[in-house]
Amino acid sequence: MLISNDAGVDALLQEDEVAQVVEVTLALEGVERPCEVSVSFVDLDEMRALNAEWRHIDAPTDVLSFECDSPFDEGLPADETVELGDVMLAPDVIAGQASEFGQTPVEECRLMLVHGLLHLLGYDHIAEDEALLMEGREEAILRELAIRRGDDPDTVRIGPTTRHVAD
């Protein structure tokens, strides 16, 4: 796993928690192969540029995922490490929207990281049924992470964050 913060932004999550979120998400999704994942914390300018280039939306967003290979691709050699992809997080956007969803910035960042990882694993949220499935997986993963932190999993709440209503 590669965690980067070249812009020096407040990442909201410590590196050990980022690693745990990645490991738990992959495990709960049934990923048994070794994977390489990159998680980058970027500033508003970089996120705006990435969003403009890849989604043709000239505004920063909270998270972007760039999928490479699927750990479920039977065509990949079994002994090969899977390059899962990159998750880009914009902590300033995440912190700014957290209260809108009744979250702390840290809680919202955890959710956005799980959300980005699920995209790398093939989840999407274009259709309503896909969004509901993705949100269910997000909540289940966040509940397991809460248990592992010693927090009450019943306090985990997510909003309808997987829909791109404004896009």
Per-residue tokens: 164:
């791109």
* pTM score, whole prediction: 0.93
pLDDT of the residue at 161: 56
Q: Is residue 140 part of a domain?
A: yes
In degrees and rounded to multiples of 5, residue 147 shows phi and psi of -60, -45
Asked whether residue 56 is marked as a ligand-binding residue, the answer is no
In the numeric block, which tokens belong to residue 6? 């070249």
Task: Tell whether the model's pLDDT for residue 165 goes beyond 60.
Answer: no
* Mean pLDDT score, 133-159: 94
Residue 115 marked in a binding site: yes
Judge contact between 7 and 91, C-beta under 8 A: no
**Residue 6 falls inside a structural domain:** yes
Determine whether the annotation assigns residue 125 to a binding site.
Answer: yes
Specify whether the CB–CB gap between 15 and 3 falls below 8 A: yes
More confident residue, 157 or 95: 95
The DSSP string of 9-75 is ---SS-HHHHHHHHHHHHHHTT--S-EEEEEEE--HHHHHHHHHHHH---S--SEEEEE---TT-TT
Q: Tally the domains of the chain.
A: 1
Q: CATH number of the domain that 29 lies in?
A: 3.40.390.30
Residue 29 is assigned to a structural domain of this protein: yes
3-61 pLDDT, tens digit each: 999 999 999 999 999 999 999 999 999 999 999 999 999 999 999 999 999 999 999 99
Tell whether 162 is covered by a domain. no
Identify whether 118 is part of a domain. Answer: yes
Taking 60 as the threshold, does the pLDDT of residue 167 lie above it? no
**Is 164 part of any domain?**
no
Does residue 115 lie in a domain region?
yes
Side chain identity at residue 5, one-letter code: N
Q: Identify the domain containing residue 125 by its residue range.
A: 2-149
pLDDT band at 158 (very low <50, low <70, confident <90, very high): confident
Give a yes or no: residue 81 inside a domain: yes
Q: What number is the average pLDDT over the span 123-132?
A: 88
- The pLDDT, as a whole number, for residue 60 is 95
Q: Is the pLDDT of residue 126 over 90?
A: no
